[in-house]
Amino acid sequence: MSQHAPTDRTRLRRMGHKAAHDKATIHAILDACPVAHVGYVVDGAPHVTPTLQWREGDRVFWHGSAASRFLRAILGTQACLTVTLTDGLVLARSGFEHSISYRSAMLFGPVQAVTDPAEKEARLKEMMDQMFPGRWPQLRPMTAQELKATTILTMPIDEASAKISAEMPDDPPEDRLWPVWAGIVPLETRLGTPEPAPDCPPGLALPQVKFG
């Protein structure tokens, strides 16, 4: 199915015309930004933790130290994961109408762990392949201890929504002649010039990097 049927949780009430529930849109947002924020509740207290995420098919993954309080607390619970791309600052004629252009995705679901060592290694390789194509075979192979010390968590992309805001300022007609600049100032995140580590020997090929 190419559409996530909106549930009571994922139906947009505010600005419903900015909603999307099709898989292609939600996947594209997840694939364009490896930074996610994961919301969960520990001992009745809400937490939101930023982390790297990657998508494989209809699942999203994230990883970290097996000693991470975050990863241990969230396992087996229901969580909410968001990814946000900011595309522009929207300047209107009044402060009230200022806003931002964005594409965001919000996922709800149960958090499970990837436990099989071979599958864990395959998932970590996939994470690296997505961000640094071709780098995995060049690396010092991962040790069994490193694999054990890494927790990988996953959530299905079942209950999900996207919200996309890409509009010029929506000033009311009586404000439109107000003599102040109005429009969009684009925002972008892009790769800069690689800076070698001080102990990186000269002459080695630069890595391929895919971010966004």
Which parts of this chain interact with ligand FAD (CB under 6 A)?
9-10, 12-14, 84, 86, 100, 102, 104-106, 161-163
Query: Between residues 10 and 150, which has the closer beta carbon with respect to ligand FAD?
Result: 10
Q: Shortest distance, CB of residue 160 to ligand FAD, whole angstroms?
A: 7
List the structure tokens of 182. 């109005």
Q: Shortest distance, CB of residue 211 to ligand FAD, whole angstroms?
A: 18
Q: Round to whole Å and give the CA distance between 186 and 80.
A: 28
Q: Round to whole Å and give the CA distance between 23 and 78.
A: 21
Q: Shortest distance, CB of residue 59 to ligand FAD, whole angstroms?
A: 18
Q: Shortest distance, CB of residue 194 to ligand FAD, whole angstroms?
A: 28
Query: Between residues 38 and 106, which has the closer beta carbon with respect to ligand FAD?
Result: 106
Q: Shortest distance, CB of residue 66 to ligand FAD, whole angstroms?
A: 31
User: Please, are residues 191 and 40 in contact by the beta-carbon 8 Å criterion?
Assistant: no
Query: Between residues 12 and 113, which has the closer beta carbon with respect to ligand FAD?
Result: 12
Query: Between residues 86 and 130, which has the closer beta carbon with respect to ligand FAD?
Result: 86
Q: Shortest distance, CB of residue 102 to ligand FAD, whole angstroms?
A: 4
Beta strands in 29-91 (DSSP E): 35-42, 45-52, 54-56, 59-65, 78-91
Strand partners, 60: 55, 155
User: Please, are residues 100 and 164 in contact by the beta-carbon 8 Å criterion?
Assistant: no
Tell me the C-alpha to C-alpha distance, in Å, between residue 31 and each of 52, 105, 139, 178.
Answer: 11, 11, 24, 40
Strand partners, 154: 61, 112
DSSP 173: G
Query: Between residues 54 and 102, which has the closer beta carbon with respect to ligand FAD?
Result: 102
Query: Between residues 85 and 114, which has the closer beta carbon with respect to ligand FAD?
Result: 85
Helix (H, G, I), strand (E, B) or coil at 148: helix
